[in-house]
Copies of this chain bind each other. A is one copy, B any other.
Amino acid sequence: MDFSFDAISAEEYERLRSSYEPLTDALRTLIDVGIHTEVDDETVQEALTHLQQAAALLQRRQRDGRSTLRHADTGRPVAWANPAVGLRNAIAPPMIIEQEPDGSCWSEFTLGPAYEGPPGWVHGGICALVLDHILGEVASEGLLQPKFTGTISLRYLRGTPLGPLRAEAFVERSEGVKTFARGYLLDSEGATVEAEGVFIKPAWARDAG
Contact = CB atoms under 8 A, between A and B. Distances in A.
B91 A91 contact: yes
Looking at A27, A43, A118, A153, which has the most chain B CB atoms within 10 Å of its CB?
A: A118
A152 B132 CA distance: 12
Interface residues on A, range: 35 or more
Looking at A23, A58, A155, which has the most chain B CB atoms within 10 Å of its CB?
A: A58
Interface in A23-49: 23-24, 26-27, 29-31, 33-39, 41, 43-44, 46-48
Interface string A63-84: 1111110000000000011111
A13 interface: no
A188 interface: no
B58 A118 contact: no
A43 B30 contact: no
A44 B55 CA distance: 10
B38 A82 contact: no
A101 interface: no
A130 interface: yes
A76 to B, nearest CB: 15
A125 B129 contact: yes
